[in-house]
């Protein structure tokens, strides 16, 4: 585990898209809201934000980060342009970490766990939002797209950012119900997991588990439906969910 102190400067959400899907058309000018507190929901996004998803298959755009240092660099390069850190439409403006170093890594900020998916590359709209040439200046520094592995609330201010070792084993609770419990032969057990393994890979160490079960059952990670094939991260529990029949 590698810990750094960072500052969460500003949070932004917007209920709908502004640039996305507007190629060849004017931007939508959907208002962006500045917040001091946000609630991150695992596998979905930030409550109230346009990328908040209800689908099971986790989007890679659940939350985005932007480095305050890049904003400051752009302000120096465009002294006559009147813009603030909201124009990039990234969700969290952060200071104190190289965001590209978090790509393909799990990390936590104040108990909220993220997985760094990829750079949030700048697009040509940045030339309009900041000034001509801004897209080029931002190449390789456009921010970070993340998945939310474990949800929770974040508040602006100083926080600890901890990078998780993807290869480090940890104990994981596994629950099975109804027909999955009958097939697996347990309702609850604990196995060793690694953050960089998928649920299929983690469960493969159980003798009674077969890949076929991933076709007929759903998987829940920390009580949210999730993907059988994405890396699980450092989580509390997983559950194998047969077709439900309540009511």
Chain residues binding other proteins by CB under 8 A are 175, 177-178, 220, 223-225, 239, 241-242, 244-247
C-alpha angle 98/235/145, rounded to 5°?
Answer: 35
Nearest CB to other proteins, comparing residues 68 and 241: 241
Nearest CB to other proteins, comparing residues 72 and 190: 190
- CA–CA dist 203, 200 (Å, integer): 5
- The pairing of beta strand 92-95 with beta strand 63-67: parallel
CB 74 within 8 A of CB 114: no
Nearest CB to other proteins, comparing residues 54 and 82: 54
> Is the sign of the CA dihedral 89, 95, 97, 98 positive or negative?
positive
Give residue for tokens 């059952």. 217
Minimum Å gap between C-beta 170 and other proteins is 21
Minimum Å gap between C-beta 108 and other proteins is 21
Nearest CB to other proteins, comparing residues 82 and 244: 244
Largest CA distance in the chain: 68
Minimum Å gap between C-beta 37 and other proteins is 19
Minimum Å gap between C-beta 177 and other proteins is 6
Nearest CB to other proteins, comparing residues 162 and 224: 224
Long-range contacts, 203-212 (Cβ 8 Å, 24+): 203/174, 203/238, 203/240, 206/174, 208/183, 208/184, 209/184
DSSP code of residue 16? S
Minimum Å gap between C-beta 3 and other proteins is 30
Minimum Å gap between C-beta 225 and other proteins is 8
> Is the sign of the CA dihedral 106, 107, 113, 116 positive or negative?
negative
Nearest CB to other proteins, comparing residues 101 and 224: 224
């Amino acid at each position: 585990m590698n810990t750094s102190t960072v500052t969460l400067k500003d949070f932004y959400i917007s209920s709908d898209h502004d640039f996305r899907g507007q190629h060849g058309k004017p931007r939508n000018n959907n208002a962006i809201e500045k917040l001091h507190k946000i609630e991150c929901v695992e596998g979905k996004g930030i409550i109230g934000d346009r990328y908040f998803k209800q689908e099971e298959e986790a989007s890679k755009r659940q939350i985005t980060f932007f480095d305050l240092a890049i904003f400051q660099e752009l302000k120096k390069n465009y002294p006559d342009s009147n813009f603030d850190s909201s124009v990039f439409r990234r969700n969290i403006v952060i200071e104190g970490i190289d965001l590209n170093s978090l790509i393909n890594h799990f990390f936590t900020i104040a108990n909220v766990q993220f997985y760094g998916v990829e750079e949030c590359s700048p697009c040509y709209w940045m030339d309009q939002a900041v000034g001509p040439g801004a897209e080029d200046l931002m190449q390789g520094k456009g921010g970070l797209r993340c998945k939310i592995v474990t949800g929770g609330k974040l508040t602006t201010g100083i926080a600890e950012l901890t990078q998780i070792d993807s290869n480090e084993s940890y104990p994981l609770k596994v629950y099975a119900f109804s027909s999955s419990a009958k097939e697996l032969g347990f309702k609850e057990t604990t196995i060793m997991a690694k953050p960089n393994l998928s649920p299929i890979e983690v469960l493969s160490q159980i003798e009674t588990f077969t890949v076929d079960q991933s076709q007929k059952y759903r998987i829940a990670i920390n009580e949210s439906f999730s993907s059988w094939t994405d890396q699980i991260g450092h989580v509390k529990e997983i559950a194998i969910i047969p077709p439900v029949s309540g009511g």
